[in-house]
Amino acid sequence: MSRDVSIGAAAKASGVKVPTIRFYEQIGLLPSPPRTEGNRRLYGASDLRRLAFIRHARELGFEIDAIRTLLVLQDDPDQSCDAADKIARARLGEVEMRIASLAALRKELQRMIQGCAHGTVSECRVIEILADHGECRHHHQ
């Protein structure tokens, strides 16, 4: 896209909502764009690429501070990628911990369901475990 576009068109093209674009400008992830005589923001191709970068990083779960650092790195392409690797490795560690937690949660839910055996509520293992957190193995492993 070679010509400048309005914030609405930038939102549509980037997949980032208008209030989020304004927020990214406020916190410095996106530079304040030039404005028309009518005070309308105008976004260029580089802004749209930056918005797409931010959106993708957010979809992958990167925090704002990590994205800020990655954008600084992106703006200086001749430097070492060690900092970017470190950020990505930290995010991978978080994801692996979350996966382990979800796997333990799945196992606990399966255990609860198997213990229920479709009897009556008075014998229901699901209700029993939910009523007594001490019975839940998920948080005690």
State the Cα–Cα distance between residues 4 and 45, nearest whole angstrom: 7
- 114/59 same-domain check: no
- 52/113 same-domain check: no
Mean pLDDT of the chain: 87
- 66/3 same-domain check: yes
Domain residues for the domain of 93 are 81-141
- 33/60 same-domain check: yes
- pLDDT band of 67, cuts 50, 70, 90: very high
Total tally of structural domains belonging to the chain: 2
Average pLDDT over residues 110-138: 70
- Residue 118's pLDDT is 66
- 38/59 same-domain check: yes
- 5/63 same-domain check: yes
- List C-alpha distances in Å: 85 to 42, 66, 75, 92, 95: 33, 11, 16, 10, 15
* pTM, 2 dp: 0.75
